[in-house]
Amino acid sequence: MCKIQILFLDREFEHDIYELIKAFYPEAEFCISYEEEEEKCGTVFRIEPTAEGCQIKFKNEEHRGVCQATIIKGQSKDALVSLQEQKEKNAEGFPDSSPKRTQEEMELRKQNKDSVKYALYHVLVKMTGRTLPWGNLTGIRPAKLAMGMIESGMKNTEIAKELRERYLVSRGKAALAITIANREREILKNIDYEKGYSLYIGIPFCPSICLYCSFSSYPLKQWQTKTDLYLDALCKEMKAVSSMMQGRKLDTVYIGGGTPTTLLPEQLRRLLDAVGENFGFDGLEEFTVEAGRPDSITREKLLAMKEFPVSRISVNPQTMNQTTLDIIGRRHTVDETKNAFYLARECGYDNINMDLIVGLPGEDRSMVENTLNEVRKLEPDSLTVHSLAVKRAARLHMFRDRYQEMTFENNQDIMDMTMRAAYEMEMGPYYLYRQKNMKGNFENVGYAKVDKAGIYNILIMEEKQPIIALGSGGSSKLVFDHGKRIERVENVKDVSSYIARIDEMIERKRAGIETWL
């Protein structure tokens, strides 16, 4: 395993620098420090501030050489005043809250950050001999970047050039981001960003916890005695939030988790009835319930949800290879996935999504191909292809020594194969996001047939309107100032704490909504 030390003499852009280096060395062990100390690692990146921004010095003991990259390229010193100089200048002429001061500093910071990442990327390419499909982009929303350029009046060809030359994105990924951004704009054309909002409701229980899962999920067997208490707290939060959001239009509702269909049929009715009682169903653009685990789906539950205007559900196999399902702890069979899907069709659901994960332990190209072939036979309405991301909270990360012998294969050929399969099922890409620690530095892409795209999925990624999140672990995004600013309001993750502190959670939301919306 490669050991890398990043020595920062300035904390500016440290997160972006770390994420970009980690993208090239995903399995490396990192040591981060902020002052001069003994170099303990074989590979050292030293980040030093300069008058023009900063300088990166790279030392690799194996090569016993030093590679230097000057960050500010093609711009004069006069064009780029350091952030500190800009702050001093602004302090003399503008009050701290001046919009001009804020805008100038933000623009300067962005220029410097882009320059740092541009130069660092070239250093890393030279060192490793490889490039990344998304270039030096370390954020999770490439389509949002493309959307902003479209809204500024740029043509598709101009956007493609900007993505390739400024952010070093590959031609294929640039085209994908632009295609998705244009489709997103068309899908969202009737959504009122200023007066509308969406609702996320979290049910944090699952039949079992998957190996890769980093969400706030709890095994249902251990929490069955508290599910009704959880619903009590959730209904209380719904009632309070409905009064806070009066005068705004509810566009989409998304009930996720966890696995919402771990609830009993009568509990599902209680939950959905509370949504209708507090928020109403009139004018909803979309109402999604994740029935993600096939082993949680029954006819009774599907029919219970059909009593309400649920317009979209998700039946998620992740893989159609039984050996992999057993490894990752799904505890259901491939046949159960098929049966759950057919049962949902029998119950009248005409918009069913299926989630797949590429890069699962032990799966090679032929196994992914088998999954795609099996899914093709089911003919879902949309397909979300995730590239495995192993987060710190996942058991796959925490017990990584146990899984060292397993292979994690993902490459552009496999991603292209998933895209071809989606096209063959008459689906086109409609939303896109990336995560930290993704195998192969790829992306998650949602594909959908005409009029079957998940509107909520686009809204949560593009951050166009407020998303109010209810339940344990809920993270509300309060989007305001015409989409230029976002503030978050967090609920506690622990179920027992959420139940005990529900009044506090409500007051957090009230304070945030009154302040920002």
Task: Indicate the pairing of strand 467-470 with strand 53-60.
Answer: unpaired
Task: Indicate the pairing of strand 53-60 with strand 428-433.
Answer: unpaired
Q: What is the DSSP string of 143-159?
A: HHHHHHHHHTT--HHHH
Looking at residue 273, what is its pLDDT? 98
pLDDT above 90 covers a percentage of the chain that reads 61
Looking at residue 328, what is its pLDDT? 85
Report pLDDT digits (tens) over 417-462.
999 999 999 999 999 999 877 767 889 999 999 999 999 999 999 9
pLDDT of residue 88 exceeding 50, the answer is no
Helix (H, G, I), strand (E, B) or coil at 424: helix
pLDDT, average across residues 43-52: 65
User: What ranges in 347-411 are assigned the alpha helix state H?
Assistant: 365-378, 395-398
Judge whether 490 and 508 are in contact, CB under 8 Å: yes
Q: Which helix (H) or strand (E) holds 345?
A: helix 334-346
Residues written for the chain: 517
Looking at residue 40, what is its pLDDT? 58
Q: What is the DSSP string of 250-281?
A: EEEEEEEES-GGGS-HHHHHHHHHHHHHHH-S
pLDDT of residue 210 exceeding 90, the answer is no
Judged on CB neighbours under 10 Å (0-12, 13-18, 19+), 460 is buried
Alpha carbons 503 and 496: distance in angstroms, whole number = 13
pLDDT of residue 178 exceeding 90, the answer is yes
Looking at residue 77, what is its pLDDT? 34
Name which of 512, 506, 471 is nearest 215 in CA terms.
471
Alpha carbons 89 and 202: distance in angstroms, whole number = 47
Average pLDDT, the chain: 85
Residue 87 one-letter amino acid: K
Report pLDDT digits (tens) over 212-229.
665 566 677 778 889 999
Helix (H, G, I), strand (E, B) or coil at 233: helix
Q: CA of 270: how far to CAs of 228, 301, 304, 405, 503, in Å?
A: 10, 12, 10, 46, 21
Report pLDDT digits (tens) over 91-113.
444 444 444 556 777 788 888 88
Helix (H, G, I), strand (E, B) or coil at 48: strand
Cα 342 to its chain centre, rounded Å, is 29
Helix/strand number for the chain, H first, E second:
18, 18
Residues 6+ apart with CB under 8 A from 376: 421, 424, 425
Looking at residue 113, what is its pLDDT? 87
pLDDT, average across residues 219-246: 93
Q: How far apart are the first and last CA of the chain?
A: 48
Taking the whole predicted model, whether its pTM rises above 0.95 is answered as no
Highest mean pLDDT among 108-117, 291-300, 504-513: 504-513
Enumerate long-range contacts of 329-334, CB under 8 Å, 24 or more apart. Answer: 329/208, 329/209, 329/210, 329/211, 329/395, 330/208, 330/210, 330/293, 330/295, 331/207, 331/208, 331/295, 332/207, 332/293, 332/294, 332/295, 334/374
Alpha carbons 382 and 427: distance in angstroms, whole number = 7
Looking at residue 487, what is its pLDDT? 97
Number of C-beta neighbours around residue 65 at 10 A: 9
Phi, psi of 99 (to 5 degrees): -60, -35
Strand segments, DSSP code E, in 230-351 are 249-257, 286-290, 312-314
Tokens at 156, concatenated: 């598709």
Write a three-state SS string for 78-112: HHCCCHHHHHHHHHHHCCCCCHHHHHHHHHHHHHH
pLDDT, average across residues 284-305: 96
**72 vs 476, residue with greater confidence:** 476
Q: CA of 33: how far to CAs of 76, 217, 334, 481, in Å?
A: 31, 34, 48, 37
**77 vs 14, residue with greater confidence:** 14
Report pLDDT digits (tens) over 7-41.
887 777 888 989 999 899 887 888 888 865 555 56
Helix (H, G, I), strand (E, B) or coil at 6: strand
Choose the weakest-confidence range: 22-26, 163-167, 267-271, 498-502: 22-26
Looking at residue 395, what is its pLDDT? 44
Sign of CA dihedral 208, 209, 215, 218: positive
Which DSSP letter does residue 492 get?
A: P
Choose the weakest-confidence range: 173-187, 194-208, 394-408, 443-457: 394-408
Q: What is the DSSP string of 118-130?
A: HHHHHHHHHHHS-
Report pLDDT digits (tens) over 364-396.
999 999 999 999 999 999 999 998 865 443 444
Residues 6+ apart with CB under 8 A from 502: 233, 236, 237
Looking at residue 214, what is its pLDDT? 55
**339 vs 55, residue with greater confidence:** 339
Annotate 304-324 with b (16+ C-beta within 10 A) or e (fewer): bbeebebbbbbbbbbbbbeeb
Report pLDDT digits (tens) over 253-272.
999 988 999 999 999 999 99
pLDDT of residue 329 exceeding 80, the answer is yes
Alpha carbons 239 and 228: distance in angstroms, whole number = 17
Alpha carbons 410 and 408: distance in angstroms, whole number = 7
Looking at residue 362, what is its pLDDT? 87
Residue 120 one-letter amino acid: L
pLDDT band at 49 (very low <50, low <70, confident <90, very high): low
Paired strand residues for 466: none
pLDDT, average across residues 294-317: 96
